[in-house]
Amino acid sequence: MARSWSLRRGHASGSFPHPGTVSMQSAWLTLLLGFAIVAVVALSAWFIHHHADDTESATGPTVAESPTLIAGALASVRPSVTPESAALRVGLEYQPLSDAALARTSPLFGQAEARLIGIYRFIQQSKPREALREAEALALDHPNFQLAQLVLGDLLNLQTRPVKQLGDVADTQALAAAQQLQELREQSRRRLAALTERPPEGAVPSQFLALSSSSRHAIAIDASRSRLYLFENTAARSSDARGRVSAAQMKLIADCYMSVGSAGVDKRNEGDLRTPLGVYHITSSLDPEKLPDLYGAGALPLNCPNALDTQRGNTGSGIWLHGSPSEQFARAPQACEGCVVLSNPDLQSLLALVSVRTTPVVIATELQWVRPETLNAEREVFEATLASWRELKSAGDLAQLQRLYSPRFNNRGQALADWWPRVEDEVKGKGARAQQVKDLSVLRWRDQDDTLVVTFGEVNEGSRRGVTKRQYCMREDNQWKIMFEGTV
Amino acid sequence: MLPPTPSLPQPPTCRAYRLSSWRQLAAATLVCVSLGSTAAWAQADEYAEVNRLLRAGQLNEALAKTDQYLSSNPRDPQMRFMKGVIQTESGKSADAITTFTKLTEDFPELPEPYNNLAVLYAIQSQFDKARAALEMAIRTNPSYATAHENLGDVYARLASQAYSKALQLDTDNTGVAPKLSLIRNVFATTSGSKAPPLAVVAKQPAAPSAVVAAAPAAAAPAVPAAASAVATGGQPGVQSAVAAWAKAWSNRNMEAYLDAYAPAFVPAGGQNRSAWEADRKARIVPRSRIGVEVNDLSVQVNGDRATARFLQAYTSDILNVSSRKTLEMVKRGGRWLIVRESTGS
Give pLDDT tens digits for B316-326: 776 667 778 88
pLDDT at residue B173 in the model: 44
pLDDT score of A371 more than 70: yes
Which candidate, A55, A52, A62, A50, places its Cα nearest to that of A1? Answer: A55
Q: Which of A198, A228, A263 is the last residue of a domain?
A: A198
CB contact under 8 A, A177 and B317: no
pLDDT at residue B141 in the model: 84
Which chain B residue shows the shortest CA-CA distance from A176?
Answer: B169
Q: Is the peptide bond before A305 cis (omega within 30 degrees of 0)?
A: yes
- Closest approach of chain A CAs to the CA of B6, in angstroms? 11
Do B140 and B110 meet the contact criterion of CB atoms below 8 Å apart? yes
pLDDT score of A448 more than 90: yes
A171 chain-B contacts, CB cut-off 8 A: 288
- Contact of B193 with chain A, judged by CB distance below 8 Å, is answered with no
Q: Verify that A383 and A349 share a domain, yes or no.
A: no
Amino acid of residue A111: Q
Do B310 and B212 meet the contact criterion of CB atoms below 8 Å apart? no
In a domain, B112, yes or no: yes
Distance CA A487, CA A482 (A): 14
Q: Which of A310-314, A483-487, B226-230, B331-335 has the lowest mean pLDDT?
A: B226-230
Q: Verify that A160 and A40 share a domain, yes or no.
A: yes
Q: What is the CATH number of the domain that holds A381?
A: 3.10.450.50
pLDDT score of B224 more than 50: no
Q: Verify that A191 and A216 share a domain, yes or no.
A: no
What confidence tens digit (pLDDT) does each residue in A75-118 have? Answer: 333 444 444 567 778 888 888 878 777 777 666 777 899 899 88
Question: For a pLDDT cut of 90, what percent of chain B falls above it?
Answer: 26
ipTM: 0.78
Residues 6+ apart with CB under 8 A from B125: B173, B175, B176
Query: Cα dist. A296→A321, A328, A331 in Å?
Result: 11, 10, 12
pLDDT at residue A335 in the model: 86
Question: For a pLDDT cut of 70, what percent of chain B falls above it?
Answer: 67
pLDDT at residue A106 in the model: 63
Q: Verify that B30 and B176 share a domain, yes or no.
A: yes
Q: Which of residues A138 and B141 earns the better pLDDT score?
A: A138
pLDDT at residue A206 in the model: 96
CB-count burial class (<10 Å; 0-12, 13-18, 19+) for A117: buried
Do B84 and B100 meet the contact criterion of CB atoms below 8 Å apart? yes
Q: Which domain holds residue B328?
A: 201-343
Distance CA A288, CA A373 (A): 40
Do A42 and A126 meet the contact criterion of CB atoms below 8 Å apart? yes
CB-count burial class (<10 Å; 0-12, 13-18, 19+) for A386: buried
Computed over every residue of chain B, the mean pLDDT equals 72
CB contact under 8 A, A149 and B145: no
- Closest approach of chain B CAs to the CA of A57, in angstroms? 9
Alpha helices in A403-467 (DSSP H): 416-419, 421-430
Q: Verify that A53 and A117 share a domain, yes or no.
A: yes
Q: Verify that A337 and A483 share a domain, yes or no.
A: no
B142 chain-A contacts, CB cut-off 8 A: 59-60
Q: Verify that B299 and B206 share a domain, yes or no.
A: yes
A143 chain-B contacts, CB cut-off 8 A: 165
In a domain, B10, yes or no: no
Average pLDDT, integer, range B8-36: 46
Question: For a pLDDT cut of 90, what percent of chain A falls above it?
Answer: 52
Q: Verify that A99 and A235 share a domain, yes or no.
A: no
Name the pLDDT band for A40 (thresholds 50, 70, 90).
low
Which candidate, A475, A438, A189, places its Cα nearest to that of A332? Answer: A189
pLDDT at residue A346 in the model: 93
Residues 6+ apart with CB under 8 A from A51: A5, A8, A9, A12, A61, A162
If DSSP codes are grouped into helix, strand and coil, which group holds residue A80?
coil
Angle at A334 between CA A332 and CA A335, to 5 degrees: 70
In a domain, B193, yes or no: no
Q: Which of A371, A394, A418 is the last residue of a domain?
A: A371
Q: Which of A314-328, B76-90, B94-108, B304-318 has the lowest mean pLDDT?
A: B304-318
pLDDT at residue B2 in the model: 38
Name the pLDDT band for B246 (thresholds 50, 70, 90).
very high
Q: Verify that B172 and B278 share a domain, yes or no.
A: no
Q: Verify that B169 and B207 share a domain, yes or no.
A: no
B149 chain-A contacts, CB cut-off 8 A: 1, 4
Q: Verify that A129 and A241 share a domain, yes or no.
A: no
pLDDT score of A415 more than 90: yes
Query: Cα dist. A358→A18, A214, B174 in Å?
Result: 57, 7, 55
A11 chain-B contacts, CB cut-off 8 A: 2
- Closest approach of chain A CAs to the CA of B293, in angstroms? 17
pLDDT score of A46 more than 60: no
What confidence tens digit (pLDDT) does each residue in B256-285 have? Answer: 999 999 988 888 767 788 888 888 888 888
Q: What is the CATH number of the domain that holds A271?
A: 2.40.440.10
Is the backbone of residue A211 left (phi > 0), alpha (psi -120 to 50) or beta? beta
Name the pLDDT band for A245 (thresholds 50, 70, 90).
low
Q: Verify that B166 and B227 share a domain, yes or no.
A: no
pLDDT at residue A343 in the model: 94
Q: What is the gyration radius of the CA atoms in chain A, in angstroms?
A: 27
Q: How many domains does chain A have?
A: 3
User: Which member of B15, B156, B169 has the closest CB to residue A176?
Assistant: B169
pLDDT at residue A243 in the model: 47
In a domain, B12, yes or no: no
What confidence tens digit (pLDDT) does each residue in A121-134 have? Answer: 888 888 888 999 99
Q: What is the CATH number of the domain that holds B43?
A: 1.25.40.10
Average pLDDT, integer, range B87-101: 92
Q: Verify that A164 and A269 share a domain, yes or no.
A: no
Q: Which of residues B88 and A454 earns the better pLDDT score?
A: A454
Q: Residue B37: which H helix or E strand, with range?
A: helix B37-55
Distance CA A114, CA A137 (A): 13
CB-count burial class (<10 Å; 0-12, 13-18, 19+) for A368: middle
Q: Verify that B93 and B223 share a domain, yes or no.
A: no
Q: Verify that A228 and A351 share a domain, yes or no.
A: yes
pLDDT at residue A486 in the model: 94
Q: How far is CA B6 from the centre of its chain?
A: 19
Is the backbone of residue B234 left (phi > 0), alpha (psi -120 to 50) or beta? left
Computed over every residue of chain A, the mean pLDDT equals 81
Beta bridge partners of A236: none
Question: For a pLDDT cut of 70, what percent of chain A falls above it?
Answer: 80
pLDDT at residue A226 in the model: 94
Q: Verify that A367 and A377 share a domain, yes or no.
A: no
Q: Which of A259-263, A288-292, A315-319, B82-86 has the lowest mean pLDDT?
A: A315-319
Q: Verify that B176 and B35 share a domain, yes or no.
A: yes
- Contact of B149 with chain A, judged by CB distance below 8 Å, is answered with yes
- Contact of B192 with chain A, judged by CB distance below 8 Å, is answered with yes
pLDDT score of B130 more than 90: yes
User: What dihedral angle (degrees, nearest 10) is formed by the CA atoms of B171, B176, B178, B179?
Assistant: 160
Q: Which domain holds residue A382?
A: 373-487
pLDDT at residue A184 in the model: 94
pLDDT at residue B282 in the model: 81
Q: Please count the helices (runs of H) and the strands (runs of E) in chain A.
A: 17, 19
Q: What is the CATH number of the domain that holds B283?
A: 3.10.450.50
B192 chain-A contacts, CB cut-off 8 A: 1, 58
Q: Verify that B166 and B230 share a domain, yes or no.
A: no
Q: Residue A118: which H helix or E strand, with range?
A: helix A111-124
In a domain, B3, yes or no: no
What confidence tens digit (pLDDT) does each residue in B29-77 have? Answer: 444 444 444 555 566 788 888 888 888 889 999 999 999 999 999 998 8
The secondary structure of A10-27 as a DSSP string is HHHHHHS--GGGHHHHHH
Q: Verify that B153 and B241 share a domain, yes or no.
A: no
For B173, other C-beta atoms within 10 Å of its C-beta total 10
In a domain, B111, yes or no: yes
Q: Verify that B27 and B164 share a domain, yes or no.
A: yes
Q: Verify that A175 and A215 share a domain, yes or no.
A: no
Alpha helices in A354-458 (DSSP H): 376-395, 398-402, 416-419, 421-430
Q: Which of A371, A400, A434 is the last residue of a domain?
A: A371
Which chain B residue shows the shortest CA-CA distance from A181?
Answer: B167
What confidence tens digit (pLDDT) does each residue in A4-29 have? Answer: 222 222 233 333 333 333 333 333 33
Amino acid of residue B101: T
Please give, one letter per residue, the 3-state secondary structure of A67-92.
Answer: HHHHHHHHHHHCCCCCCCCHHHHCCC
Name the pLDDT band for A306 (thresholds 50, 70, 90).
very high
Q: Verify that A133 and A230 share a domain, yes or no.
A: no
Q: Listing from the earlier edge strand, what are the strands of the sheet with A340-341? A: A299-301, A320-322, A340-341
Which candidate, A221, A338, A332, A319, places its Cα nearest to that of A272? Answer: A338
A58 chain-B contacts, CB cut-off 8 A: 143, 145, 148, 192
Do A301 and A282 meet the contact criterion of CB atoms below 8 Å apart? yes
CB contact under 8 A, B166 and A7: no
Distance CA A142, CA A108 (A): 18
CB contact under 8 A, A156 and B156: yes
- Closest approach of chain A CAs to the CA of B151, in angstroms? 9
Distance CA A219, CA A230 (A): 5
pLDDT score of B230 more than 70: no
Average pLDDT, integer, range B13-38: 49
Q: How many domains does chain B have?
A: 2
Distance CA A80, CA A75 (A): 10
Residues 6+ apart with CB under 8 A from B206: B226
Name the pLDDT band for A328 (thresholds 50, 70, 90).
very high
CB contact under 8 A, B160 and A173: yes
Q: Verify that B175 and B257 share a domain, yes or no.
A: no
- Closest approach of chain B CAs to the CA of A460, in angstroms? 60
pLDDT at residue B276 in the model: 87
CB contact under 8 A, A150 and B159: no
pLDDT score of B94 more than 60: yes
In a domain, B15, yes or no: no
Q: Verify that B246 and B121 share a domain, yes or no.
A: no
What confidence tens digit (pLDDT) does each residue in A49-82 have? Answer: 444 433 333 333 333 333 333 333 333 334 444 4
